């Protein structure tokens, strides 16, 4: 990443929302000096400052994404660090945690270091690598967590493989806690999802596709909470899809367990009914579920049961998705449309005001991993985004920055758009 602007920067006229400090000013001013936020500019700084007039826009901290995939190393046909981080900037994200299911897997210092070197050259935003919890994310032998911690991983996870053995998961949690690592867990009992293609319900019956029951997620959410109580290790539950899962987390938090959780933007907006046309871009893991699940997830996000909204960006090539539904890989590209999807589902539909959603995109996920991000406070790195909540737009395949071809919201009218994104006070995206 390049150095920040040499001149001071001033954003004028925008609504300033910083949930970390409780700041919400209808017509505020944001000042940046040497790549960091400042309370005010000196008279000399004000004379040389670059001024951005942002009337009608909202300035918010840069979004923090706890779950995305960048393709490299090993899957550059789907995405590269360069294209993935440019897409992140277009979506308002300035910090992203990269999942370790690369080729080779990030279960060793060498792979983590390779990703860090690629990011140092190519990344448009901050990338924090995650390491695997077990070797090869196969759920059998623990990865060298101490070495991975020293190599700079932000967290550890076996991503969509998940650890299927509770004894191994217990030991992994204890081991991770020794090094102060948060364990991110994809909650799926694979014995219940063999061959499953979508949510088990009326639509799976209509479409003739094998169903994926809520229980396959809820069983693992329950066991993770039980193991958190046993080990007192920090565990973060990734991209929950079931209303029952949200209720389990709510109860766990009421008991004071060290558990946090997230939901993907697509699960806030869409349901399994969206699969009526067998659109493989909407074949997700976990799957889209029913309207009652969607509403329960929104309610859990609003009341703080769910701490974060993630992109769950899972890029695939258009060719990979252009096949029979049961042969297509899981995953959707979603970095560039995540804010608009969540904004439409939560704010436009009247479930919560904009500051609540911004909190779940900024300081909420930052606190999950203890990151110095997600705030506009003086002295913090000047990572921020300019939003246009009133904008209506249709993503077009040719206008997206991601290399992947599987954004399911292409062609759909969305409400709310990112207009510009800055990292260290330097513009990395702007239309």
Domain check: are 323 and 418 in the same one?
no
Q: What are phi and psi of 67, to 5 degrees?
A: -155, 100
State whether the Cα torsion 194-200-203-205 is positive or negative. positive
Domain check: are 219 and 360 in the same one?
yes
Left, alpha or beta for 110 (phi > 0: left; psi -120 to 50: alpha)?
alpha
Domain check: are 180 and 137 in the same one?
yes
Domain check: are 328 and 189 in the same one?
yes
Confidence of residue 3 (pLDDT cuts 50, 70, 90): very low
Q: Facing residues of 1 across strands? A: none
pLDDT tens digits, 213-248: 999 999 999 999 999 999 999 999 999 999 999 999
Q: Facing residues of 194 across strands? A: none
pLDDT at position 5 is: 54
Among 369, 394, 416, identify where a domain stops.
Answer: 369
Which two tokens mark 316? 């695939």
- What's the longest Cα–Cα distance across the chain? 69
pLDDT at position 20 is: 97
Cα(289)–Cα(274) distance, integer angstroms: 10
> Does the pLDDT of residue 100 top 90, yes or no?
yes
pLDDT tens digits, 300-339: 999 999 999 999 999 999 999 999 999 999 999 999 999 9
Domain check: are 230 and 116 in the same one?
yes
pLDDT tens digits, 348-357: 999 999 999 9
pLDDT at position 218 is: 98
Question: CB atoms < 10 A from the CB of 114, how many?
Answer: 18
Domain check: are 140 and 281 in the same one?
yes
Helix axes 291-302, 243-254, angle to 10 degrees: 30
- Whether 272 is catalytic: no
Residue 47 is part of which domain span?
Answer: 9-58+382-430
Q: Does residue 168 fall inside a structural domain? A: yes
Question: CB atoms < 10 A from the CB of 340, how many?
Answer: 28
Q: In the predicted model, what is the mean pLDDT of residues 356-382?
A: 97
Q: In the predicted model, what is the mean pLDDT of residues 58-78?
A: 96
> Does the pLDDT of residue 32 top 80, yes or no?
yes
Cα(214)–Cα(244) distance, integer angstroms: 8
Confidence of residue 161 (pLDDT cuts 50, 70, 90): confident
Q: Does residue 374 fall inside a structural domain? A: no
Domain check: are 117 and 30 in the same one?
no
- Beta carbons of 66 and 365 less than 8 angstroms apart: yes
Question: CB atoms < 10 A from the CB of 202, how many?
Answer: 12
Domain check: are 90 and 227 in the same one?
yes
- DSSP secondary structure code for residue 142 in this structure: B
pLDDT tens digits, 190-222: 999 999 999 999 999 999 999 999 999 999 999
Q: Facing residues of 418 across strands? A: 387
Q: Does residue 83 fall inside a structural domain? A: yes
Q: Does residue 376 fall inside a structural domain? A: no
What CATH number does the domain containing 216 carry? Answer: 3.20.20.140
- Beta carbons of 215 and 221 less than 8 angstroms apart: no
412: cis peptide before it, omega within 30°? Answer: no
Left, alpha or beta for 4 (phi > 0: left; psi -120 to 50: alpha)?
beta
Closest CA to 62 of 349, 339, 369: 339
Mean pLDDT of all residues in the chain?
Answer: 96
Cα(295)–Cα(280) distance, integer angstroms: 24
Cα(191)–Cα(107) distance, integer angstroms: 25
- Beta carbons of 256 and 300 less than 8 angstroms apart: no
Cα(172)–Cα(98) distance, integer angstroms: 20
User: H/E element holding 430?
Assistant: strand 426-430
Cα(76)–Cα(62) distance, integer angstroms: 26
User: How far apart, in Å, do the first and last CA atoms of the chain sit?
Assistant: 20
In sequence order, which residues have a C-beta less than 8 Å from that of residue 30 and are 6 or more positions away? 10, 11, 14, 16, 37, 59, 376, 384
As for how many domains the chain has, the answer is 2
Q: Does residue 357 fall inside a structural domain? A: yes
Domain check: are 137 and 259 in the same one?
yes
Among 346, 369, 392, identify where a domain stops.
Answer: 369
Q: Does residue 375 fall inside a structural domain? A: no
Domain check: are 36 and 123 in the same one?
no
Domain check: are 313 and 193 in the same one?
yes
Which two tokens mark 414? 């969305």
Domain check: are 317 and 350 in the same one?
yes
Confidence of residue 1 (pLDDT cuts 50, 70, 90): low
Q: Does residue 186 fall inside a structural domain? A: yes
Q: Does residue 1 fall inside a structural domain? A: no
The DSSP string of 65-122 is EEEE---TTT-TTT--HHHHHHHHHHTTEEEEEEPS-SSS-S-SHHHHHHHHHHHHHH
What CATH number does the domain containing 424 carry? Answer: 2.30.40.10
The residue from 65, 158, 224, 312 that is catalytic is: 312
Cα(106)–Cα(332) distance, integer angstroms: 22
Higher pLDDT, 6 or 362: 362
């Amino acid at each position: 990443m390049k150095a920040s602007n040499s001149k001071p920067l001033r954003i004028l006229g925008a609504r300033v929302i910083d949930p970390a400090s409780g700041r919400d000013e209808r017509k505020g001013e944001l000042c940046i000096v040497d790549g960091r936020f400042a309370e005010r500019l000196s008279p000399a700084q004000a004379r040389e400052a670059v001024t951005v007039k942002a009337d009608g826009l909202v300035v918010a901290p840069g979004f923090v994404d706890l779950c995305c995939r960048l393709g490299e190393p090993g899957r550059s046909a789907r995405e590269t660090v360069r294209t993935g981080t440019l897409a992140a900037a277009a979506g308002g994200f300035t910090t992203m945690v990269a999942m370790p299911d690369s080729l080779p897997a990030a279960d060793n210092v060498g792979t983590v270091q390779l990703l860090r070197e690629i990011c140092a050259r190519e990344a448009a935003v901050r990338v924090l690598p995650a390491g695997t919890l077990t070797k090869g994310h196969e759920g059998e032998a623990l990865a060298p967590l101490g070495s991975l911690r020293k190599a700079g991983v932000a967290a550890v996870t076996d991503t969509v493989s998940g650890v299927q053995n509770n004894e191994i998961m217990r030991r992994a949690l204890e081991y991770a806690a020794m090094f102060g690592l948060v364990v991110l867990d994809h909650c799926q009992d694979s014995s219940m999802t063999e061959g499953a293609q979508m949510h088990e319900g009326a639509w799976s019956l209509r479409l003739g596709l094998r169903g994926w029951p809520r229980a396959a997620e809820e069983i693992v959410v329950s066991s993770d909470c039980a193991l958190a109580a046993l080990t007192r290790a920090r565990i973060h539950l990734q991209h929950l899809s079931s209303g029952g899962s949200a209720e389990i987390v709510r109860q766990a938090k009421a008991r004071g367990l060290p558990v946090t959780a997230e939901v993907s933007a697509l699960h806030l907006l869409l349901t399994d009914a969206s699969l009526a046309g067998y659109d493989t871009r909407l074949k997700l893991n976990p799957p889209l579920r029913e309207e009652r699940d969607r509403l329960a997830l929104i309610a859990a996000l609003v009341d703080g049961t769910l701490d974060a909204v993630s992109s769950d960006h899972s890029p695939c090539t258009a060719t990979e998705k252009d096949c029979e539904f049961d042969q297509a890989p899981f995953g959707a590209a979603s970095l560039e449309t995540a804010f608009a999807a969540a904004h439409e589902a939560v704010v436009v539909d009247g479930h919560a005001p904009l500051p609540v959603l911004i909190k779940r995109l900024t300081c909420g996920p930052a606190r999950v991993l203890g990151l110095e991000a997600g705030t506009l406070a003086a002295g913090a790195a000047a990572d921020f985004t300019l939003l246009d909540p009133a904008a209506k737009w249709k993503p077009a395949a040719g206008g997206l920055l991601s290399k992947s071809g599987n954004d399911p919201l292409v062609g759909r009218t969305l409400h709310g758009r990112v207009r510009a994104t800055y990292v260290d006070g330097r513009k990395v995206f702007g239309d």
